[in-house]
Amino acid sequence: MKTFSGRVAAVTGAGSGIGQALAVELAKRGCAVALADKNLDALKLTQELVYDNDGRCSVHALDVSDRDAVTQFANDVNKRYGEVHLLFNNAGVTLVDTIENQSIEDMQWLMGINYWGVVHCTQAFLPYMRQAPEAHIINVSSIFGMLAVPGQSAYNSSKFAVRGYTEALRHENLGTSLKVTCVLPGGVKTGIMTSSRIKIDRLGSSQSKEEMIRNFNTKVKTTPEQAALRILKGVERDEPRVVIGWDAKLMDLVTRLFPRSYDRILGFRRRFEHQSTIATANRGASNTT
């Protein structure tokens, strides 16, 4: 897609982070934006930012895990604008817990948003996007959709699934007017950690959730605005994959070169072994009191 001017885009997770940055940048480029998020107050802030850039937008309170609500969202967007050219499946959450201890309810919550949200939106918008002379679906996976990390099994599962789903969607539409891109960000300074479910006691970490979030934000260098610009460049170039951030590029390279030992090289194994030792010691101490 060579121009965004005069186009219509739907963006999920538009209340903050990459979704908000995408909405603002699209508005700057003359694209009308349908803003979707579960947090209506956050959406209103994004709406003001779009208006500040002389953009057009509509606000839609949406839980992407709710299939009926997503279908209604797609219908409303098409009815309002008459066409849809771009879909950014960006909404996401994370869960930090061990496979042994995490609850099925927590995993279903995450998969409902991260994976089924992508499926629901794609299927709901596809009929309308087929009618456009050119259209593009952009699904946000993660570099953790390329490699696995201890304590992130649910998140890994969802992002691996999004990557596979997106690549299959692209292959099925080769030679058509519908283009498809999978986005693989590394660490980006978004609010995903704040809205996450982190089971500190299960990981044996000495950090609180607040300390973990501060540590994450200190280490992460990529901003949502930088991520949004790179994503839109990928759309312009019809790139099948967009890897965002030096950390993601490094992990992607190491995983490709050392598929059997990347966990050791990147330090995941050592870090989790240390946390497991602490957690085991804590369990032992609690059993003797």
Angle at 113 between CA 47 and CA 58, to 5 degrees: 20
Question: Which amino acid type is present at position 120?
Answer: H
Token couple for 240: 């099948």
What's 191's DSSP letter?
S
37 three-state secondary structure:
strand
Q: How far is CA 65 from CA 19, 41, 100, 179, 188, in A?
A: 17, 19, 25, 24, 23
What's 221's DSSP letter?
-
DSSP letters of 86-150? EEEE-----EEB-TTT--HHHHHHHHHHHTHHHHHHHHHHHHHHTTSSSEEEEEE--GGGTS--T
Distance, CA of 130 to CA of 118 (rounded, Å)? 17
Neighbours of 219 (CB within 10 A): 10
Q: How far is CA 28 from CA 22, 23, 31, 42, in A?
A: 10, 9, 7, 19
Examine the residue annotation and report whether 155 is marked as an active-site residue of this protein: yes
- Give start and end residues of each alpha helix (H) in the chain: 17-28, 40-52, 67-81, 104-114, 116-129, 153-172, 200-203, 209-219, 224-237, 246-257, 262-265, 268-287
Which residue in 81, 128, 155, 262 is the catalytic one? Answer: 155
22 three-state secondary structure:
helix
Give the active site residues. 155
